[in-house]
Structure 1
Amino acid sequence: MIRVLIAEDQSMLRGALTSLLKFEEDMEVVAEVSDGQQALEAIEKLSPDVCLLDIEMPHISGLELAGKLRDSGNKCKIIIVTTFARPGYLQKAVDAKVEGYLLKDEPIEYLIESIRKVMNGERVISTDLAAALFLKEESPLTEREEEVLRLANVGMTTDQISKQLFLTKGTVRNYFSTAIQKLHAESRQQAVNIAVEKGWI
């Protein structure tokens, strides 16, 4: 019996996946949760064989959770599910050594077959996502520029970022300015949005 955990913040989709997987004689849904923190706790407690993780969840994203599980040596198979074919995200998933990376609009049969494949030691990537990997753009940002945008993305102010990175406020503003120019953005927030969209932060 393949023991599956589903982590998805959209309750309708989560419920539908759970219902459909219950029809499979060789699968059992051991937990369904709505955010990354709940998923981490459930995985540590229940030790599922396969974890279906939404890429964008509250508290801990699917990619962050995958990284935590790999760093801790957890052996569960990880399938990331996403709405967007973002090359940057796919690269991060590959780096995190996940077993599957699927688009949410794949047929349910494809997902079920993918669960069986990863249990047999295979890796599965949606065709459209595999194509996106070859179109991946390199980030024009420096490590510091990515860092200030990442901190801005979680709601930190210039003052807070300067304290966090031990930089002057002027230096932080300079990093924002160069990042905005490189990304052809009109504002700090737009630069953050572009970097997130590309999967660079």
Structure 2
Amino acid sequence: MADPQAGTDYSVLAAPQPVQDSTKVEVIEFFGYFDKFSAALEPSLQKWQTGLSADVLVRRVPVAFGTQAAYVAQQKLYYTLEALGKVDALHQSVFDAIHGPARARLDSDQNVLAWAVKQGLDEKEFSANYNSFAVTRKATTATKEQNDYRLAGVPTLVVQGQYTTSPSQAASTATATTEAASIERTFQVLDFLVAKARS
């Protein structure tokens, strides 16, 4: 594989953003539960994470394009799962519920709560966290962060606050002609950018 090229396989931000931990290489996945491309990327991202060295920090940031209730509800769902320590257990399940055969409509507070209860989560505990100041603040911060990065779509992966790539950008190479190939190319580019950020 030829080395990924700036402007083709990835972009260099004109205004780099600060990272949470300067002792690590930070990778942010901006995603939306509503987005089929985020859903398609997720299994490969989980697999990629298992092989990472300790100096790489991966953060997920759920986006909200606009103020639609569905976007905010899904942001709060993610941060509630995080607060309850259930992201590893249920993150993929949210994608499956929305994009699988059931086509669950997790587009309101009420629907999100009903789904959570069906997953075996305690209704009162889930609701208390979902409606908490901490979860609301994290959702607000996530929207600010996506705006700071001037995101045009998801999924978008950011390395060390300065490089971005995505399956659609990685697919611009001639070899990435299928969804699977564009996802594979995305992680080749991501590995390259992580190494670049270390140097």
State the TM-score, normalized to the length of structure 1.
Answer: 0.29
Max Rg structure? 1
State the TM-score, normalized to the length of structure 2.
Answer: 0.30
